[in-house]
């Protein structure tokens, strides 16, 4: 699958006897694109056909129309129009979309008779620019551009016309993030002595969305993302320790890895989402994104580029080689790099669809450690296209409109319904099941420190983990093995680590976080962890390194209730809870009567927990209290109706992440997340305001579609953007702050 590359027919001036401006070609880009790459990339193996970077569906594209003037007079001013035709069916019927599109501000360009590739390519003011909104970016497209001179030209008899080849936009990809919302209450290492404590609230789904703006823009994913919360988790230790080994992580990060594994297990250990641990702004942290955790990316609220970098790892990217060992296949893009010396260069001209800012081919890819981590490279753009971690889907002609996103609070189909058999043998389906999860630390002295033992219904899958020589076992009264599972080392690597080899080794040297998952077959008499070694005579030596005997009886839950007032929910419980190993509570909820379970909170020690109802779906929910006594788990369910609340809306652009250039195009871009308000299918109106004045168009629409429109960025200074959205029975108002500056390259 690719866009049909190559050139179309030559431009055809309507009156060939009078030399006039002509169209050299067009570039259609969603982030980075090839255009006349032989005019700047000197290694033929780096050169590709125009527009051969594949477009993805439901993400806007910029069309740059390149104009030249061979009349020799120089200094003519031209304008133009773009006609977009789309086909979504078989046999093809081409339909013109919307009105004819006019160019973005400043709407005209002055064409010089002197052509300099780098000058023209590196500034949007050298080309006539058009936007194709995300709603038209799908199925098959073809474009036609017309240009005419502002002085003496005629729109109805254009000086030049250019018809594009066909573009096949049949791949849709979606960023599906599941936030692990971490609060921080602990010491402030920069205070004192004596040190004071700080209490920082857990970020919310709105924060997750806003922080993802840059990821959604730079990466080949559709404009709408799927965002949901996997609940909250408290953290109380500064993430400031020193790595335990070169390329390793500090003890604090290893402990955080183990804690995050509990949330994932409480949330079903899903593989259809990217788990992202979001720390509050101000969390004491030594180097942001200091460690890659097991299948979980982690970063600070609003740290947008770090989020993209961590999600890149989650989607299988290694580092771009620049101040860090990286992907050995990353190319050198000559002349920007020295031959055979890759240096994290982008390789082509990047364009930010939010504002038209150009990123030069010599700028650095965000997966490297050269700063600024400016944009996505050709190499990583390709790796992230057709990527299973972005839920790739092939669109089908004649299946229109494009289906919406799956409900993030319902386990996907491949979580096979436990009551049914696999429908087609060979389909890869994994069954959630009752398991015993053991999570802990194997420390540097070779001792096991248990953090959590849970019996829970979840996917029996540990992502980002490697088998060790250890095994955990559930034993019966005669020491017979009732159940067992390998002890998996949860990968926790320092960012500077060149760990590709290490990641696959069975290295059992501490310290590391681990998790065991084994079938929960019966209560059992004891749990142990053994090291299985091969002796000199070839026989197996089993060395017990940890054991725990059963508690006398499971925890007895008396009452469990969930009450709602205003936007807060309060879960409360009572019972007979005591254990030599300590008692821990966790909470889940289900919106489909117990088929799918979502994490609400873990590691609770009090007999109540307050939560924000805006983060969970409206309607009839089953809540589950799980009481873990270190050996057995008891649970109790209660039903509660979560009342109506607003959807989760974020303005993704403009926001405080970047400075915009006054007078240049600016995308107004917001998403309405109705995962928690599934009955809200349409909005009645939406109004965009800049500094209190209405701009752009507004109107009704489907909540599934992101809201976007383009306006000229206001004069230099600080500004506020406001979005007002009206529904049948209420409205939401969200704001964002941004700054504009003068163009001054
Ligand atoms: Zn990294």
Using 50, 70 and 90 to split pLDDT, how confident is the model at 511?
Answer: confident
CA of 16 to the centre of ligand 1 (A): 56
Q: How confident is the model at residue 1 (pLDDT cuts 50, 70, 90)?
A: very low
CA of 309 from ligand 1 middle (Å) equals 6
Residue 218: strand, helix, or coil: helix
**334 CA distance to ligand 1 middle (Å):** 25
Distance 306 CA to ligand 1 centre (A): 9
| Rounded Cα distance, 566 and 551, in Å | 40
CA 281–ligand 1 middle distance (angstroms): 20
Cβ neighbour number for residue 681 with a 10 Å cutoff: 12
Buried b (16+ CB within 10 A) or exposed e, 428-459: eeeebeebbbbbbbbeeeeebebbbbbbbbbb
Residue 313 alpha carbon to ligand 1 centre in Å? 7
Tell me the CA–centroid distance for residue 344 and ligand 1, in Å: 13
Q: Measure 182 CA to ligand 1 centroid, in angstroms.
A: 21
Alpha carbon of 367 to ligand 1 centroid (Å): 6
Least confident residue range of 467-471, 532-536, 560-564, 572-576: 532-536
Spacing, Cα 385 to ligand 1 middle (Å): 19
How confident is the model at residue 180, as a pLDDT?
A: 97
Measured in Å, residue 505 CA sits from the centre of ligand 1 at 20
Over residues 28-48, the pLDDT tens digits come to 999 999 999 999 999 999 999
Query: Residue 494 C-alpha to ligand 1 middle, in angstroms?
Result: 8
Percentage of residues in the chain having pLDDT higher than 70? 89
pLDDT for 316:
87
Cα of 310 from ligand 1 centre, angstroms: 6
Note the pLDDT of residue 462. Answer: 85
The CA 619 to ligand 1 mean position distance, Å, reads: 40
Mean pLDDT of all residues in 462-474: 89
What spacing in Å lies between the alpha carbon of 325 and ligand 1's midpoint? Answer: 10
Residue 6: per-residue pLDDT: 38
CATH topology of domain 556-642: Immunoglobulin-like (2.60.40)
Residue 219's Cβ-count burial label (10 Å; 0-12, 13-18, 19+) is buried
Cα 302 to ligand 1 centre (Å): 17
Report residue 146: phi and psi, to 5°.
Answer: -120, 140
pLDDT digits (tens, 9 = 90+) for 699-721: 777 777 889 999 999 999 999 99
Q: Which residue has the higher pLDDT, 490 or 158?
A: 158
Residue 561 pLDDT > 80: yes
How far does the centroid of ligand 1 lie from the alpha carbon of residue 412, in Å? Answer: 29
Residue 676 has pLDDT above 90, yes or no: yes
pLDDT greater at residue 252 or residue 549 = 549
Residue 730 CA to ligand 1 center (angstroms) comes to 43
Q: If you measure from the C-alpha of residue 490 to the centroid of ligand 1, how many angstroms do you get, rounded to a whole number?
A: 17
Q: Is residue 416 pLDDT above 80, yes or no? A: no
State the Cα–Cα distance between residues 394 and 520, nearest whole angstrom. 39
What is the distance between the alpha carbons of residues 88 and 452, in angstroms, rounded to a whole number? Answer: 52
* Ranges of H-type helices in 393-466: none
The CATH architecture annotation of domain 648-741 reads: Sandwich (2.60)
What count of residues does the chain have?
A: 745
| Residue whose structure tokens are 């109106």 | 685
Q: What is the pLDDT of residue 73?
A: 63
CA of 243 to the centre of ligand 1 (A): 16
Q: Which residue has the tokens 């240049």?
A: 664
324 Cα to the center of ligand 1, angstroms: 9
3-state secondary structure string, 98-114? CCCECCCCCCCEEECCC
Residue 5, pLDDT > 50, answer: no
- CA 336 / ligand 1 centre spacing (Å): 23
Q: What is the 339 CA–ligand 1 centroid distance (Å)?
A: 25
Q: Are the C-beta atoms of residues 290 and 249 closer than 8 Å to each other?
A: yes
Q: Tell me the CA–centroid distance for residue 316 and ligand 1, in Å.
A: 11
Q: Beta strands of 323-447 (E only): which ranges?
A: 349-351, 358-359, 393-394, 433-442
pLDDT-derived band at 349 (thresholds 50, 70, 90) equals very high
Q: Residue 647 C-alpha to ligand 1 middle, in angstroms?
A: 33
Strand blocks (E) in 415-525: 433-442, 448-458, 465-475, 481-490, 493-494, 512-519
pLDDT tens digits for 241-282? 766 665 567 788 888 888 999 999 999 999 889 999 999 999
CA 418 to centroid of ligand 1, rounded, Å: 38
Question: Given this model, what pLDDT does residue 537 score?
Answer: 84
Centroid of ligand 1 to alpha carbon of 495 (angstroms) = 5
| Ligand 1 center–CA 411 separation, angstroms | 29
Q: Which of 150-154, 371-375, 464-468 has the highest mean pLDDT?
A: 371-375
Across the chain, mean pLDDT equals 89
The class that CATH gives domain 21-172 is: mainly beta
Same-fold call for 556-642 versus 648-741: yes
Cα(48) to ligand 1 centroid in Å equals 29
Centre of ligand 1 to C-alpha 410, Å, is 31
- For residue 82 the two structure tokens come to 């773009």
The residues spanned by each domain of the chain are 21-172, 173-313+404-420+430-550, 318-383, 556-642, 648-741
Q: Could you tell me the distance, in angstroms and rounded to a whole number, from the CA of residue 357 to the centre of ligand 1? A: 25
Q: What is the whole-number distance in angstroms between the Cα of residue 292 and the centre of ligand 1?
A: 7
Per-residue confidence at 72, pLDDT binned at 50, 70, 90?
A: low
How much distance in Å is there from the Cα of 431 to the middle of ligand 1? 32
């Amino acid at each position: 699958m690719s866009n049909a590359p190559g050139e179309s027919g030559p431009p055809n001036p309507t009156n060939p006897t009078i030399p006039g401006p002509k169209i050299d070609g067009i570039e259609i880009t969603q982030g980075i694109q090839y255009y006349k790459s032989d005019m700047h990339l000197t290694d033929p193996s780096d050169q590709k056909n125009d527009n051969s970077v594949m477009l993805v569906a439901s993400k806007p594209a910029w069309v740059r129309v390149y104009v030249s003037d061979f009349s020799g007079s120089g200094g003519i001013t031209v304008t133009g129009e773009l006609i977009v035709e789309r086909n979504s069916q078989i046999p093809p019927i081409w339909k013109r979309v919307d009105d004819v599109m006019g160019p973005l501000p400043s709407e005209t360009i002055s064409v010089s008779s002197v052509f300099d590739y780098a000058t023209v390519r590196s500034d949007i003011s050298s080309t006539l620019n058009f936007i194709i909104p995300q709603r038209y970016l799908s199925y098959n497209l073809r474009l036609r551009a017309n240009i005419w001179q502002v002085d003496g030209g005629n729109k109805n008899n254009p000086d030049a016309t250019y018809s594009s080849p066909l573009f096949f936009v049949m791949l849709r990809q979606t960023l599906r993030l599941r936030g692990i919302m971490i609060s921080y209450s602990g010491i402030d290492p920069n205070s004192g002595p004596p040190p004071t404590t700080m209490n920082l609230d857990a970020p919310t789904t709105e924060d997750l969305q806003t922080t993802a703006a840059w990821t959604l823009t730079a990466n080949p994913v559709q404009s709408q993302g799927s965002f949901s919360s996997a609940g909250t988790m408290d953290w109380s230790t500064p993430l400031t320790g020193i790595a335990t080994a070169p390329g390793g992580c500090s003890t604090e990060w290893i402990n955080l890895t183990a804690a995050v594994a509990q949330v994932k297990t409480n949330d079903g250990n899903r593989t259809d989402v990217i788990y992202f641990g979001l720390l509050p702004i101000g969390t004491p942290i030594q180097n942001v994104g200091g460690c890659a955790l097991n299948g979980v990316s982690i970063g600070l609220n609003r740290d947008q580029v770090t989020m993209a970098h961590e999600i890149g790892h989650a989607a299988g990217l290694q580092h771009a080689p620049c101040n860090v060992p990286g992907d050995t296949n990353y190319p050198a893009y000559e002349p920007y790099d020295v031959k055979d010396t890759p240096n994290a260069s982008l390789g082509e001209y990047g364009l930010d669809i939010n504002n038209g800012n150009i990123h030069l081919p010599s700028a650095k890819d965000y997966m490297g450690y050269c700063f600024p981590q400016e944009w996505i490279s050709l190499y990583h753009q390709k790796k992230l296209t057709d990527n299973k971690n972005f839920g790739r889907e092939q669109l089908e002609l004649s299946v229109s409109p494009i289906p919406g996103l799956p409900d993030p609070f319902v386990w996907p189909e491949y979580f096979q319904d436990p009551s049914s058999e696999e429908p087609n043998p060979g389909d890869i389906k994994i069954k959630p099941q009752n398991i015993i999860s053991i999570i802990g630390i194997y420390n540097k002295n070779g001792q096991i420190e248990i953090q959590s033992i849970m019996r829970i219904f979840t996917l029996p899958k540990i992502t980002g983990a490697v088998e060790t020589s250890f095994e955990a076992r559930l034993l019966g009264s005669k020491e017979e093995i009732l159940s067992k599972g390998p002890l998996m080392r949860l990968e926790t690597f320092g960012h500077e680590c060149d760990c590709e080899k290490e990641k696959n080794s069975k290295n059992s040297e501490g310290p590391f976080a681990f998790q065991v998952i084994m079938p929960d077959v019966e209560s059992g008499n004891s749990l142990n962890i053994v090291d299985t070694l091969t002796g000199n005579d070839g026989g197996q030596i089993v060395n017990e390194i940890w054991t725990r005997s059963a508690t006398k009886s499971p925890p007895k839950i008396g009452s469990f209730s969930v009450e709602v007032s205003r936007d807060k929910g309060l879960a409360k419980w009572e019972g007979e809870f005591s254990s030599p190993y300590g008692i821990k509570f966790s909470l889940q909820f289900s919106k489909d009567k117990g088929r799918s379970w979502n994490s609400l909170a873990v590691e609770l020690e009090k007999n109540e927990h307050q939560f924000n109802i805006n983060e969970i779906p409206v309607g009839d929910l089953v809540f589950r209290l799980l009481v873990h006594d270190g050996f057995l788990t008891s649970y109790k369910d209660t039903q509660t109706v979560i009342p109506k609340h607003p959807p989760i809306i974020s303005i993704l652009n403009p926001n405080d992440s970047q400075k915009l250039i006054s007078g240049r195009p600016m995308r107004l871009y917001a998403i309405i997340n109705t995962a928690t308000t599934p009955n809200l299918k349409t909005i009645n109106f939406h109004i965009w305001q800049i500094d209190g004045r209405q701009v752009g168009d507004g109107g009704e629409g489907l909540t599934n579609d992101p809201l976007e429109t383009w306006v000229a960025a206001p004069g230099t200074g600080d500004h506020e953007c406001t979005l007002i959205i009206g529904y049948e029975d209420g409205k939401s108002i969200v704001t964002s702050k941004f700054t504009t500056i003068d163009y001054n390259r």
